[in-house]
Amino acid sequence: MSLSLDIDLLRSFVAISEARSLSRAANRVGRTQSALSQQLKRLEEIVEQPLFQRTGRGVLLTAHGERLLAHAQRILRLHDEAMADLSAKGLSGTIRFGCPDDYAAVFLPYLLRQFASQHPNVLVEVICAPTPRLLQQWDKHALDLALISLPDGAPDESIIRREPLVWVGCPGTETADFDPLPLALSSPDTLDHLAARASLDRAGRGYRIAYASDSLAGLTALVRSGQAIAVITRTAVPPDLCILDTTATLPTLPSVGISLKLGHSTPLSEAFAEHTRRSLPLL
């Protein structure tokens, strides 16, 4: 008897791929970690290939997993579009959504795919930039919604989720070997930049700005070279980099709050805002 790819198995597989962790993916799809593990085992039996490699910090796609992911995303998109079309459900139109780079890398794939499954006729235009730049765009009415970072201590009612900032280096990095400490940070007005400098100033640790950029890819590239350390939200740390232990001269960093700004209210913007508020705590 020939085997086929089950939609439910593919949906769980994509969730694991995006979350890079069985426990986080289980929260997304509303299953236990054990049930999700069984689904993954069943899918690997069907394709007769290992799809993930287990690591100390989660799971990574194998080469076969990468190939299946491309097919799975396309299959799910067509499936969801067909279901929405035949049931005549869903909104239509365009919304402009602003989001910082580190949140985009972790949260956007799930947010956009799940929203598109319900509303395939909606186009979400994504603008990635640090919070200060998003707020500038907001003031110009260039965005309909924006996911932004707020400093530790911001009012709880405006916070969807809190994320700790962490020091990040390449494997084997010994911060004691650097004097002054080379930093790869976002622009001077961003929360990670301000938090890093303030914490090191309080600790009396010497540092220099080796690289400052609004590009997360640029920051992590320098970290991978071993030439600097960066400050990133914990959930956005790439699996090939490591979170550095805090010490007397590498102090604990504050958390940031993630908040959603909603401009002119429309059924479309309200639907995407509610979807984001509901989904973000689970990711």
Q: Is the pTM of this model over 0.85?
A: no
pLDDT of residue 2: 54
Joined tokens for residue 234: 């914990």
CA distance linking residue 139 with residue 120, whole number of Å: 29
pLDDT of residue 88: 56
Rg (CA), the chain: 21
Q: What is the biggest distance separating any 2 CA atoms in the chain, rounded to whole angstroms? A: 69
User: Distance (Å, rounded) from C-alpha 244 to C-alpha 166?
Assistant: 7
DSSP states along 48-108: TS--EEEETTEEEE-HHHHHHHHHHHHHHHHHHHHHHHHTT---EEEEEEEE-HHHHHHHH
Phi and psi, residue 87, nearest 5°: -90, 0
- Which parts of the chain register pLDDT below 50? 1
Tell me what pLDDT residue 91 has: 83
Quick one: pLDDT at residue 1? Answer: 43
Instruction: Check residue 231 and give its pLDDT.
Output: 96
pLDDT tens for 215-233 read: 899 999 999 999 999 999 9
